[in-house]
Amino acid sequence: MTANGPAAVIVLAAGEGTRMRTATPKMLNEVCGRPMLGHVLSVAQELHPQRLILVVAGLDGQVAAYARGHYPEATLVVQERRGSWGTGHAVRTVIENVGTIHGTVVVLFSDTPMLRVTTLESLVAEHEAAGAAVTVLTARAPDPTGYGRILRDQEGRITGIVEQADATPEQRSVTEISSGMFAFDGDLLADAVKRVPAAAATGEEYLTEVPAILRADGYLVAGAFCPDFEEIQGVNNQAQLASARRVLNERLLARWMAAGVTIVDPASTWIDVDVQIEPGARIGQTTQLEGCTTIGADAEIGPGSLLRDTAVGPGAQVLQSVCEATVIEPAAVVGPFAHLRPDNLDQPEAPPARKGTWLYEES
C-alpha cells in the first residue's frame, strides 16, 4: 500500500434493504451508537484513500444527507435504475461519473459494520505486492448459503466467483466465499466493468464477474483471506443487526478492559463506539454508556445506570440512575434513582447537603 493509501475507496449504499422492515434505510440502522454506514466510512477513512466515493440511490434521501453531514469529503454518485442493477452496475456508474481512477481501488459495502481497518490494509498490501489485477477478500463460511463461491483451478488459483443463484449443486458445496469486497487495478477495472453481463437468474450486473473477465484477459486474480468470518458479514435483517451489535460491543468492552477499565459484568454492559473512559474507572453491571459520554479516572458507574452524552468527572459515583446531556463534577455522588437531564441544571437548587454530592430530581 502506498504511503497515501489507495487511490479510492468506493462504498456501495444504493440498495433498498427491505428485509430490515424499518422506515430507516438499512445502512442507517445503528450499531453501538453509529449507523452501519458510519462504521464503514470511518474504516474507509482510516485507509487514507485519495478519494472516498459513496454510491447512493438519490441525492435527496436520508443516506445522502447523513454522508453530507458526517463525511463531507465523500463524493456522492447516484445509481439510477435504468433497466439494469447490481454491484457491477453501481461501480460502472462511478466510472461513468468520475472517470477512470488510476491506482488501487477498494470496493466495500455499506452494511458491514464489523469490518476492521487491519483487514483492509492487508487486502490492499497483498493486492499491490502481488501486482494483481484484482484481489478478492475471501473467508471460510460455516454455512455459505447466500454467498458467492470462490472457484479455483487444480493449482489453487482463483478462476472466478459464482453467485448462489447461478451456482451448480457442486459449486454450492464450496465453503470458501467471496465477501463481495475487492481491491482492483483502477485502469483494468474501468475497462472490465463495462463488459459485465447481466446474470441469467436475476438480470443483475454482478461485480463478482470482473475477476473472471480479467483472468480471461490474462491478468492475475489474487485472494486475501480473512480468518474471522463474522467480520465480513453483511447485515440484512433485525437478527443480524442484533448479532452485529453484540460482536462490536464485545470488541469495545475488550478494548476498555485492556486499557485498565473495570467492567464487572461484560454480558450486561453496553458501550457506544464514541464513549471515552479513563483507566481506573469501574463500570457496574446492567449499565449502558451511550453517545459521546466520557468517564473520568476512578469514577464508578452503575450498577443499573444509563448515561447518554454525559461527562463524568474523576472519582464521581453514579448509582442506579439515568443521566442525559449532563456534567457530573469530580467526586460527586448521583443516585440511587436519579434522573439528570439538561432541565435540572436550569433550576435553582438548594445548597448541597455535603461537599461532593450532586443534587438531583427524582423521576
Q: Where are the domains of the chain?
A: 8-232, 259-346
Tell the CATH topology of 8-232. Answer: Spore Coat Polysaccharide Biosynthesis Protein SpsA; Chain A (3.90.550)
**Which DSSP string do the residues of 176-208 spell out, in sequence order?**
EEEEEEEEEEHHHHHHHGGGPPBPTTT--B-GG
289 pLDDT band, cuts 50/70/90, is: very high
Residue 170 has pLDDT above 50, yes or no: yes
Question: Tens digits of per-residue pLDDT, 180-203?
Answer: 999 999 999 999 999 999 877 777
Q: At what angle do helices 36-46 and 62-70 cross, to 10 degrees?
A: 40
Q: Name the region of 193 (left: φ>0; alpha: ψ -120 to 50; beta: rest).
A: alpha
Q: How far is CA 315 from the centre of its chain?
A: 34
User: Which triple of cell numbers denotes residue 262?
Assistant: 473495570
Residue-level pLDDT at 363: 38
Tell the CATH topology of 259-346. Answer: UDP N-Acetylglucosamine Acyltransferase; domain 1 (2.160.10)
Residue-level pLDDT at 166: 84
62 pLDDT band, cuts 50/70/90, is: very high
- Stronger pLDDT, 200 or 120, i.e. the higher one: 120
Question: Tens digits of per-residue pLDDT, 66-108?
Answer: 999 999 999 999 998 765 688 999 999 999 999 999 999 999 9
Question: Tens digits of per-residue pLDDT, 204-252?
Answer: 898 989 999 999 999 999 999 999 999 999 999 999 999 999 999 999 9
Q: What are phi and psi of 155, to 5 degrees?
A: -85, 0
For 108-126, what is the mean pLDDT? 97
Q: What are phi and psi of 165, to 5 degrees?
A: -65, -25
Q: How far is CA 255 from the centre of its chain?
A: 17
Q: At what angle do helices 117-130 and 36-46 cross, to 10 degrees?
A: 50
